[in-house]
Amino acid sequence: DGGITQSPKYLFRKEGQNVTLSCEQNLNHDAMYWYRQDPGQGLRLIYYSQIVNDFQKGDIAEGYSVSREKKESFPLTVTSAQKNPTAFYLCASTATGNGNQPQHFGDGTRLSIL
């Protein structure tokens, strides 16, 4: 059953702590994306990767980092530099990075500050 798996579903971060959100896909998609969604708002792009070992900043990359060492994996680290990390984080993928295909989303991770 192909899809995108995000873990954990809920995550709590202490002050000054870095946390990593996992995103794995078995769709054999080239491109992967990380979005942040705040209550009652749309999705804002954090980082995206169109191919393995390459990624670009989105609109709100400050305080976040990513890696793309494998095609199927695109983990997001929320660093201590991100002062307001409480949000719903969504990972998505598309077959290629040309923007002409539907985005497939994972179930998301809800991050809160302790």
How many angstroms separate the CA atoms of 10 and 2, rounded?
22
Decide if residue 2 touches another protein (CB under 8 A): no
What string marks each residue from 43 to 82 as x (binds another protein by CB under 8 A) or -? xxx--x---------xx-----------------------
Measure CA 28 to chain center.
Answer: 17
* CA distances, 70 to each of 42, 63, 73, 97 (Å): 29, 23, 5, 16
Question: Which among 104, 98, 76 is positioned nearest to 4, based on CA atoms?
Answer: 104
Decide if residue 99 touches another protein (CB under 8 A): yes
Type of residue numbered 24: E
Range in contact with another protein (rule: CB under 8 A) among 12-20, 22-30, 63-71, 95-103: 95-103
Decide if residue 90 touches another protein (CB under 8 A): yes
Interface positions with another protein (CB under 8 A):
35, 40-45, 48, 58-59, 90, 97-100, 102-108
